[in-house]
Amino acid sequence: MTTHLLHRAPSPLSFPESPLSRAVKQPMMLGLFLPTQTGGFSQSTLPRSTRWDFDYNRDLTLTAERYGFDFVFGLQQWLGKGGFGGEMRYRENFLDPFISTVAIGALTTRIITISTVHILYGHWHPLHLARFAATADHISQGRFGLNIVTGYDQREPLMFGMTRIQHDERYERADEFSSIMEDLWAGEENLTYNGRFYQLEGAYVSPRPAYGRPILVSASASPAGFEYAAEHSDIVFTSSPAGADFDGAIDALPAHTAQIRAAYAKTGRAPKIIIFPLIVCKKTRAEALAYREAIVSHPDSDSISAYYARHTAGDAHGWKQHDASDRILGGHLQITGSPQDVADAIERLKAAGFDGIQIGFYDYGPDLDFFAEHVQPLLVERGLRI
């Protein structure tokens, strides 16, 4: 992969006082995957209080900030009327993560907000996103991040009058796109560039970001994705290559994180690697297993079938060992048990090479409160949180 940078803007990690530098001091970063879409991440009809609307997600973020969480994350996906269908019309309502995280960033004081952006859909140009993200960074005083994704689904591009670009070429385009943004954020001069995919003449962005550039994240599970991330990203958000069941997946994860670190070693950089566990936690293991059983006993079968069909028709390299039943509860990994069990699992993820987790819950409000009260103190005791 060829980079095209002239004056690469430094990572926020180059600034000891940046919000990202503060976050990575935690032995295990804590993030919250916001449910900004109908049904969140679980395709079960068991009653719960989780909602997709802005007020609910704002309040979740403020609560997570109060509990000391390091970041929140917004998902992006493009769906037609009815979403994935089923009784719950799964993901029909979908807040735009960019707009939502910028708005939340203005209401918070410490927590980092990260938005997912499909940079290759429609008519996105790196000059547009460089200014938008610099503005978001300015609003949040350096607490804004972009999760750059290229889109694995074959139907989403059709909504923009496009067809899906071949997998590795998507990362070649993303490399050029991000390289241009990093030049613009460096802002040493007007940028004129005539590349393979993008052209600019006399382009400039100001105000520039507070700490070199916004935080850059890559959701990657392929060699091409890891190579792109090694050139551009502070954080790699990856999935489990061995299914969502924690006990079945944990042994495969050290080799997976080692592959990511090997890609970064070629550039002399080190990644921060995170994964998305869906956590079911109660005071006892028996209670947690009963809660999980109640959730998975109410599958929204029609939406699960539609989701699984769409996923298997995509060309993503992640989630290949995940099956349709994993979707009832959701998550890249599923952790169920007592506070001690959950702390054990998080400790094992640390040993497997992860630097943080981006947590999802079934019933977000009460489950987040329970996690903060009963699990976080155990993480401090184990040296996983400061």
Residue matched to tokens 């980079």: 3
Identify whether the C-beta of residue 185 lies closer than 8 Å to the C-beta of residue 208: yes
Identify whether the C-beta of residue 240 lies closer than 8 Å to the C-beta of residue 332: yes
In the structure, what pLDDT confidence band is assigned to residue 7 with cuts at 50, 70 and 90? low
Check residue 322 and give its pLDDT: 66
Residue matched to tokens 């390299």: 317
Map residue 116 onto helix, strand or coil: strand
Is the pLDDT score of 323 beyond 90? Answer: no
CA distances from 194 to 4, 8, 127 (A): 10, 17, 13
DSSP string, 313-360: HS--SS-TT--TTHHHH-SSEEEEE-HHHHHHHHHHHHHTT-SEEEEB
- pLDDT > 90 fraction of the chain, expressed in percent and rounded: 91
Is the pLDDT score of 2 beyond 60? Answer: no
Q: 327-371 pLDDT, tens per residue?
A: 999 999 999 999 999 999 999 999 999 999 999 999 999 999 999
Identify whether the C-beta of residue 139 lies closer than 8 Å to the C-beta of residue 106: yes
Mean pLDDT in the chain?
95
Give the list of residues 6+ apart from residue 344 with CB closer than 8 angstroms, or none: 337
Identify whether the C-beta of residue 326 lies closer than 8 Å to the C-beta of residue 108: no
Check residue 4 and give its pLDDT: 46
Is the pLDDT score of 193 beyond 50? Answer: yes
Q: Does domain 12-381 have CATH number 3.20.20.30?
A: yes
Q: Which amino acid is located at 361 in the chain?
A: F
Check residue 321 and give its pLDDT: 62
**Between β-strands 199-203 and 191-194, what pairing exists: parallel, antiparallel or unpaired?**
antiparallel
In the structure, what pLDDT confidence band is assigned to residue 324 with cuts at 50, 70 and 90? confident
Check residue 220 and give its pLDDT: 82
**Between β-strands 215-219 and 235-237, what pairing exists: parallel, antiparallel or unpaired?**
parallel
Would you kindly state where each structural domain of the chain is located, as residue ranges? Answer: 12-381
Quickly count: other Cβ atoms within 10 Å of residue 34's Cβ: 29
d(CA 192, CA 206): 16
What torsion do the CA atoms of 126, 129, 132, 135 make, to the nearest 10 degrees? -60
Check residue 209 and give its pLDDT: 97
Is the pLDDT score of 317 beyond 90? Answer: no
Is the pLDDT score of 320 beyond 90? Answer: no
pLDDT average, residue stretch 158-180: 95
Residue matched to tokens 């987790």: 357
Is the pLDDT score of 1 beyond 80? Answer: no
Identify whether the C-beta of residue 9 lies closer than 8 Å to the C-beta of residue 212: yes
Q: 58-73 pLDDT, tens per residue?
A: 999 999 999 999 999 9
Residue whose C-alpha is closest to residue 145's, from 178, 120, 190: 178
Q: 214-271 pLDDT, tens per residue?
A: 999 999 888 999 999 999 999 999 999 999 999 999 999 999 999 999 999 999 999 9
